Structure 1
């Protein structure tokens, strides 16, 4: 467990550093100044593990909880945990049939891979064209120990990035993309894509009182739904050995949670037919690829007598910082100007053109703030903001539908 995990936990629990040193810090409680704990800082020190155990034991005593509970909460300060749960009634608690268990673990890999792919581009059926970065990401994500509660496996990903880009070129305070920050955000963006896509899939396959039309299915692609995501869900239900499959998202306490997302999607066994039909529709659909880029707005300029504005975004594309130019209608252009002033991360979805040796451009179908980050004022904005974006930007789906 790192020092920053402990410091984040204490700060969120209304403690503050009273004495700071190179080897350790003394923190005191805001509620009672006589309560003090020592927090070790040098992780390479031989006594660091022992001192950290002492810290968790002391906090457990103060909070009236077990040391294991405190240690778990402290360790996940910068971790998003996606809990995959297969419910199966059996004679032994916290178990499922072997075949269902194999399907659940394979589903975890497929969910991560499909969500990573849809974070990079929106496509109904990736097939053999799965982005290499999505495959690499699935290999890097960690699984935790199985947990109590029927049968649960946790997918663990990092969420350590800041919400605001703060780099500038040092001359005119021009915002400049920090590639390291962008790369660190990918884990959280994948989890956000997964949560939103599963919510959309649940609405089509479970919540609605009608079967989804072909148009509904095609529209869902823009929301991150793919044939591969559907297969990841249906393969667990198709075993016939589970009553339901649900995915719950537990966002890192120390990182701003994604915006406008539900934290759980549930698929009862009866949904397997509809999920399978959606997958079949996507498998045979015409292939339309829309790239999704994330970055910061670096320039906004009005076009005279045009009714739209020119926007330039710096984005991480293929592990490199690239500049992409595109036009937006006035209502959305106004938001782009605001996000540039605030240095808010943004997403852009559409057809990306990257001719060799020339300026990259994009035919935009959606633009808005990065849905994996948010600020308090964005949460408090009226829902009409998102509706206006969808109506005024030739189908752009705005902040809520990245």
Structure 2
């Protein structure tokens, strides 16, 4: 049995989210229990129990028995429980082909092929800009990003409407109790890819498409910092102009185990009328010169603050010169308190200011001119589709 087929982490996560707790482990597994309140509210009664082996292979007798037990407990079908358990650690991008091009639950091959090809390009571009913003990637795709993008898979299309689901398996997050002092939980790399893609598409839609005008220099830089690249815009445009599609239409469904990120769109729709504008945006991005070391963006990985002090430091993880590094940023106490919330919500952060190198070789921004979540660059212009 391979690790990819072992669904015990999925089962355990699903049970925890639904109020089950594991008991003492035995030689082969654990006995999980669901506690229930007594009718008069006086104490707790021991509820139903469920034996969960240390390994639960997909399709095995043990797995089917767990599904059956949960289905009877919740009075739903085993198929519904199976879908929920198997989706526990999956982020999904659902690309929709317009109903007028769907006949007898089939779509034009050309349109479907374009959507799939462009979806692959979107994931690959987002996997690179999730590590470091790039206006124009060209041949300089990130090798670690490419390895992450290769984990994406095509799932089954949905009956009744033609949706092509692209799913990205995500790894469980490290529990807060297992982190070093001052460290904060960060998104797994796979989640960061889909998160960046959703944020980039929202930025493209809100900054460039909805205003129906070519973005100015500041808008272009905001697009780049939000994860937009020429390659991403070109992939969106390819879907928009494809015969048998009608519009770029994608919705996002997030892993229940990791939860839904804050400030991301549920759905982004870009009509075919936007094709000329998208072409102009792509051309503008191709002309952007690499930004000097005057800003850093990424996830907050550490916060240092002494209660009552006027300032502290936050550390942002980013990529510089093809290496992952942590850059410390001086921050006021007000920003530090906000940073705890941003880190908890896994919102990528942008810090602008001159980057210096300390005597111990660590990187530091002593006088930042701005520290803010990246989604604030575009969220206030138009409401996010949802």
Alignment TM class, shorter chain as reference: 0.7 to 0.9
Distance in 2 of aligned mates of 1:243 and 1:109? 19
Q: Is the 8 A contact 2:23 2:30 kept in 1?
A: yes
Structure 1 residue 157 and structure 2 residue 169: aligned? yes
Alignment of 1:127-138 (within 5 A): 127-138=138-149
Superposition deviation, residue 147 in structure 1: 2.9
Equivalent in the alignment of 1:12: 17
Note the alpha carbon deviations across 1:162-189, whole angstroms, 9 max, x for none: 3637433xxxxx4468xxx86x711111
The alpha-carbon distance between structure 1 residues 97 and 120, as it changes in their structure 2 partners (threshold 3 A), is same
Structure 1 residue 283 and structure 2 residue 266: aligned? no
Distance in 2 of aligned mates of 1:129 and 1:352? 25
Structure 1 residue 105 and structure 2 residue 107: aligned? no
Number of residues of Structure 1 aligned to a counterpart in Structure 2? 358
Superposition deviation, residue 339 in structure 1: 7.7
TM-score normalised to structure 2 length: 0.76
The alpha-carbon distance between structure 1 residues 91 and 294, as it changes in their structure 2 partners (threshold 3 A), is closer
TM-score normalised to structure 1 length: 0.74
The alpha-carbon distance between structure 1 residues 40 and 143, as it changes in their structure 2 partners (threshold 3 A), is same
Match of residue 116, structure 1, among 116, 121, 127: 127
Q: Is the 8 A contact 2:132 2:319 kept in 1?
A: no
Distance in 2 of aligned mates of 1:29 and 1:94? 41
Equivalent in the alignment of 2:153: 142
Q: Is the 8 A contact 2:197 2:227 kept in 1?
A: yes
Distance in 2 of aligned mates of 1:257 and 1:285? 33
Match of residue 361, structure 2, among 347, 359, 362: 359
Structure 1 residue 394 and structure 2 residue 361: aligned? no
Equivalent in the alignment of 1:201: 204
Equivalent in the alignment of 2:384: none
The alpha-carbon distance between structure 1 residues 57 and 176, as it changes in their structure 2 partners (threshold 3 A), is closer
Gaps of 5+ in 1: 169-173, 366-392
Superposition deviation, residue 106 in structure 1: 1.3
Q: Is the 8 A contact 1:315 1:322 kept in 2?
A: yes
Q: Is the 8 A contact 2:356 2:365 kept in 1?
A: no
Q: Is the 8 A contact 2:98 2:245 kept in 1?
A: yes
Note the alpha carbon deviations across 1:181-216, whole angstroms, 9 max, x for none: 86x7111112111111111112245444x4243232
Equivalent in the alignment of 1:211: 213
Structure 1 residue 23 and structure 2 residue 28: aligned? yes
Equivalent in the alignment of 1:190: 193
Distance in 2 of aligned mates of 1:44 and 1:27? 14
Superposition deviation, residue 63 in structure 1: 2.8
The alpha-carbon distance between structure 1 residues 397 and 4, as it changes in their structure 2 partners (threshold 3 A), is same
Equivalent in the alignment of 2:68: 57
Coordinate RMSD, CA, aligned: 3.9
Superposition deviation, residue 274 in structure 1: 2.1
